[in-house]
A = this chain, B = another copy of it.
């Protein structure tokens, strides 16, 4: 079983993913918020590329909330932004959430055509790895990055996933998988501090959202594994 990492979603262009399980990571903050939301009883989430698309799709649905963010700030007219603290049980339970974020949505959609796409984060690291290995397929971890550039926090989480996945037998690591594992080995002792020096971490600090950084870098606090199936994020029970 091969483990590979796309350090940026544009690397998936032209890849045949039909026999590959993808795990998408956008640590600050889209996939962390999705995992939190689905763990708090959200019924379904629909990732879309624009707020206009969100409004069109939402108009046909019941119990709808809109979540949208651009440059780390909530889009005007949305019920929710992109902070995981907004996706609490009282707000999201039983709801359908249409979501558009700067990088996370693009990364999730870059895996269209994959055998299966799972939503990962530090919070559900162990659970998403266990789920990913049950299919006997190659695994591609897709890092969202930021505006087409490499993001440290996504690669660090990818390194943790590789570390967990490579505890299994017969795993073959690509160069990027090996590199991320080394990176995580060196960074794990000061994970939040490393998160804060990243470009997105600095942006969140400027917005007084250090609490988001700390929340997003908790390991194995949740066990849900959201799946992206036919354009929708659900929990497969």
Contacts and interface: CB of A to CB of B under 8 A. Distances in A.
Contacts of A183: 179, 182-183, 186
B182 A199 contact: no
Given A149-B176, A152-B179, A173-B197, 13 more contacts: A149-B175, A150-B179, A152-B175, A155-B175, A156-B179, A174-B199, A175-B199, A178-B197, A182-B186, A182-B187, A183-B183, A183-B186, A186-B186
Contacts of A186: 182-183, 185-186
A163 to B, nearest CB: 11
A143 to B, nearest CB: 11
A220 interface: no
A152 B174 CA distance: 9
A198 B182 CA distance: 13
A7 interface: yes
21 contacts: A7-B7, A149-B174, A150-B174, A150-B176, A150-B179, A151-B175, A152-B176, A152-B178, A155-B175, A155-B179, A156-B179, A175-B198, A175-B199, A179-B183, A182-B182, A182-B186, A182-B187, A182-B194, A183-B183, A183-B186, A186-B186
A150 B7 contact: yes
Interface residues of A, number: 22
Interface in A165-202: 173-176, 178-179, 182-183, 185-187, 194, 197-199
Nearest to A176: B150
Interface of A: 7, 149-152, 155-156, 173-176, 178-179, 182-183, 185-187, 194, 197-199
A126 B176 CA distance: 25
A206 to B, nearest CB: 15
A162 B233 CA distance: 40
Contacts of A179: 150, 152, 155-156, 183
A151 B179 CA distance: 9
The interface centre, meaning the residue of A7, A156, A183 with most chain B CB atoms within 10 A of its CB, is A183
A147 to B, nearest CB: 12
A67 to B, nearest CB: 25
A34 to B, nearest CB: 22
A198 B185 contact: no
